[in-house]
C-alpha cells in the first residue's frame, strides 16, 4: 500500500491488486443507481401521493415529514435492511437526490414518529397494499390464498405481543399476522398484524368482508383458498353470501373419518392416487357441503407395523371442502396451487424483514409490517409490468441484486443530479426499458 496526495493535499490510500489500483475516495460513486426505478414507480402508482394525503395531519410542526419517513422505511426494506439502525445505508447522495429527501431521519426518530400512527392511518396503508395488488391482477378467475404465520418477538413490554402457538420458539411472545395472496399475480392482496394469542381463524370473517369491499376484482370470479386451521362454518357462509368460491382443507375428525370409511366408489387419477366425493356437515356448519377426498397409497417402507387410526388417515387421505363444480382431482390440484402463499410469506419474512424492525407500540409495529408489504408489492409491480418475460417469475431477492444494486457515478451538472451507469452493464437495457415503461 502506498500513499498518494489528493487535490486537497490529503494523503490518499491506494492498494495495488494485480493490474488495478484501488482507491477509497470515490465520493460520487454509488451502488444504488437502480433505485431510480423504485422512485419512479412511487410516482407512477401514486404511492407517494397517497402517503402524503394519508399522513398530512401528522406533519404539523415536524422537521421530518411522515411520508418521507415511510418512504425511507420502504426503501430500506428493498435494500435489505433488517433494523432501524440500518438507515445509515440511506445516507447516500444518489438516494437523497432520487427520492428528493433533504435528510435521513435518525433511528430514534423513526420509532418516535411511527408512534403517532393510529388504526385509521394503518387502514390507509392497507389500502395502498390492495391498490398495488390490483395493478397486476389479471382478468378471469382469481385464486386468493389466505394464511397466517408466526413472528417471534425478542424484547420486553412490546404491545400486542402475547404467548400463543409458536412452533419455532415455544413459549416466547409473538405476533400472528394474517395475509391474503393473489396466487396468479403473486401479490399481497391484504394483511394486518394480530397479537400472538389469537387463533388462526380469529378475525377471518371480517377480513374477508374487507377484501370484498376494497378489491376491484368481481367476487363471483374469486376463489378463496383456506388452510385447515382457517376452515370454519361461519367463514364458509360469508364466502357463499358474496357469491365467491372456496377450496378449504378439512381436519380429519371422527365425523369425517366415518364418512370416508363408507365411500365405495373410488376413481384412479394416476400415481397411486384415487379420488371420490362425499357430503358431510360438521359441527358449527349451517348445512352439509361437498367434499373432495383424495386417497394415496403410501409405500410399504414408510408405514410402521402398527399405526393409530387417525395418524394413518392423516397421511393417507386429504379432504377439501368446496362449492365449485369441478372434479375432485381438479379441486385438489387447485388447492395445491395455493401453496405459493408459503413462499411469499418466507420472502416477506426473510428478504424484506416484514415482521422485523419493531418498536414498543402495536400500531407502529403494524405500520412497519405494512411497509414491508408495500415494498414487496411495489417491486412485484415493477417485475410484472416492466421487466422481460424471463424475469417476471424471478425471486424478489434476485431482482434486488440485479436491478436495484446498479453501480453508478453521481454528478451534479447543469443544476441537476445525473446518475451515470456503465455503458456495457448487462442490466443497462433492461433498466432503461423499465424506466420508460413507468414514464
Give residue for cell 387421505.
Answer: 317
158 vs 244, residue with greater confidence = 244
CA separation (Å) from 361 to 65, 111, 177? Answer: 20, 9, 16
Task: Report the interhelical angle of 428-437 vs 35-44 (nearest 10°).
Answer: 10
Q: What is the pLDDT of residue 2?
A: 52
Mean pLDDT, the chain, rounded, equals 84
At residue 303 the predicted structure's pLDDT band, cuts being 50, 70 and 90, is low
C-alpha cell at 294: 383424495
**How far is the C-alpha of 357 from the C-alpha of 370, rounded, in Å?**
12
The secondary structure element, H or E, covering residue 29 is strand 29-30
> Per the structure block, which three cell numbers stand in for 192?
394486518
> How does pLDDT run across 315-324, given as a tens digit for each residue?
588 899 999 9
Residues 112 and 428: their CA atoms lie apart, in Å, by 40
350 vs 237: which has the higher pLDDT? 237
Rounded CA-CA distance 406/33 in Å is: 5
Please give the grid coordinates belonging to residue 436. Answer: 420508460
Whether residue 290 contacts residue 322, with contact meaning beta carbons closer than 8 Å, is answered with yes
Calculate what percentage of the chain has a pLDDT beyond 90: 30
Q: End-to-end alpha-carbon separation of the chain, Å?
A: 47
**What pLDDT band is residue 299 in, cutting at 50, 70 and 90?**
low
Position 157 scores a pLDDT of 65
- Residue 47 near residue 36, CB atoms below 8 Å: no
Q: Which of 312, 396, 292 is nearest to 354 (CA)?
A: 396
CB environment 185-197: b (16+ within 10 A), e (fewer):
bbbbbbbbbbbbe
Could you list the beta-strand ranges (E) of 267-377: 267-270, 273-280, 289-296, 317-322
Domains of the chain (ranges, CATH numbers):
2-27 (no CATH), 31-116+356-425+428-433 (no CATH), 141-349 (3.90.350.10)
Check whether 410 has a pLDDT greater than 80.
Answer: no
Tell me what pLDDT residue 164 has: 75
What secondary structure does DSSP assign to 186-236, as a single string? TEEEEEE--BTTS-TTTTHHHHHHHHHHH--S-GGGEEEEE-TTT--HHHH
* Number of Cβ within a 10 Å radius of residue 377: 27
Q: Which segment, 10-19, 99-108, 233-242, 313-322, is predicted with the most confidence on average?
A: 233-242
pLDDT per residue over 202-230, tens digit each?
889 999 999 999 888 889 999 999 998 89
pLDDT > 70: percent of the chain: 88
**Whole-model pTM?**
0.87
Per-residue pLDDT reduced to its tens digit, 331-345: 999 999 988 888 888
pLDDT at 329: 92
Amino acid at each position: 500500500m502506498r500513499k498518494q496526495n489528493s487535490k486537497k493535499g490529503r494523503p490518499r490510500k491506494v492498494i495495488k491488486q494485480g493490474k488495478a489500483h484501488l482507491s477509497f475516495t470515490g465520493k460520487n460513486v454509488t451502488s444504488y443507481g437502480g433505485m431510480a426505478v423504485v422512485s419512479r414507480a412511487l410516482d407512477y402508482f401514486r404511492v407517494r401521493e397517497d402517503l402524503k394525503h394519508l399522513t398530512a395531519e401528522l406533519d404539523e410542526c415536524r422537521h421530518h415529514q411522515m411520508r418521507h419517513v415511510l418512504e425511507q422505511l420502504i426503501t430500506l426494506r428493498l435494500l435489505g435492511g433488517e433494523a432501524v439502525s440500518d438507515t445509515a445505508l440511506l445516507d447516500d447522495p444518489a438516494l437523497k437526490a432520487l427520492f428528493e429527501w433533504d435528510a435521513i431521519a435518525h433511528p430514534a426518530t423513526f420509532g418516535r414518529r411511527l408512534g403517532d400512527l393510529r388504526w385509521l392511518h394503518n387502514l390507509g396503508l392497507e389500502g395502498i397494499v390492495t391498490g398495488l395488488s390490483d395493478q397486476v391482477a389479471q382478468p378471469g378467475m382469481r385464486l386468493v390464498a389466505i394464511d397466517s404465520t408466526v413472528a417471534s418477538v425478542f424484547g420486553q413490554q412490546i404491545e400486542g405481543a402475547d404467548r400463543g402457538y409458536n412452533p419455532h420458539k415455544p413459549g416466547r411472545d409473538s405476533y400472528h399476522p394474517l395475509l391474503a395472496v393473489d396466487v396468479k399475480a403473486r401479490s399481497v392482496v391484504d394483511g394486518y398484524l394480530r397479537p400472538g394469542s389469537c387463533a388462526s381463524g380469529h378475525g377471518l370473517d371480517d377480513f374477508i368482508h374487507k377484501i370484498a369491499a376494497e378489491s376491484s376484482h368481481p367476487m363471483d370470479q374469486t376463489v378463496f383458498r383456506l388452510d385447515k386451521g382457517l376452515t370454519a362454518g361461519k367463514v364458509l357462509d360469508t364466502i357463499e353470501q358474496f357469491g365467491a368460491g372456496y377450496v378449504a382443507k378439512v381436519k380429519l375428525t371422527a365425523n369425517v373419518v366415518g364418512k370416508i370409511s363408507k365411500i365405495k366408489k373410488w376413481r384412479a387419477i394416476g400415481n397411486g392416487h384415487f379420488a371420490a366425493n362425499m357430503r358431510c356437515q360438521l359441527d358449527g356448519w349451517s348445512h352439509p357441503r361437498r367434499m373432495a377426498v383424495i386417497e394415496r397409497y403410501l409405500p410399504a417402507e414408510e408405514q410402521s407395523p402398527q399405526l393409530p387410526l387417525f395418524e394413518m388417515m392423516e397421511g393417507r387421505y386429504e379432504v377439501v371442502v368446496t362449492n365449485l363444480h369441478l372434479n375432485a382431482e381438479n379441486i385438489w390440484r387447485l388447492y395445491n396451487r395455493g401453496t405459493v402463499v408459503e413462499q411469499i410469506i418466507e420472502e416477506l419474512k426473510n428478504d424484506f424483514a416484514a415482521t422485523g424492525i419493531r418498536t414498543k407500540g402495536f400500531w407502529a409495529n403494524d405500520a412497519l409490517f405494512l411497509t414491508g408489504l408495500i415494498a414487496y408489492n411495489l417491486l412485484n409491480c415493477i417485475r410484472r409490468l416492466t421487466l422481460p418475460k424471463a424475469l417476471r417469475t424471478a425471486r424478489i431477492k434476485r431482482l434486488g441484486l440485479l436491478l436495484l444494486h446498479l453501480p453508478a457515478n453521481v454528478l451534479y451538472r447543469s443544476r441537476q443530479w445525473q446518475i451515470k451507469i456503465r455503458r456495457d452493464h448487462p442490466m443497462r437495457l433492461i433498466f432503461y426499458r423499465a424506466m420508460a415503461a413507468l414514464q
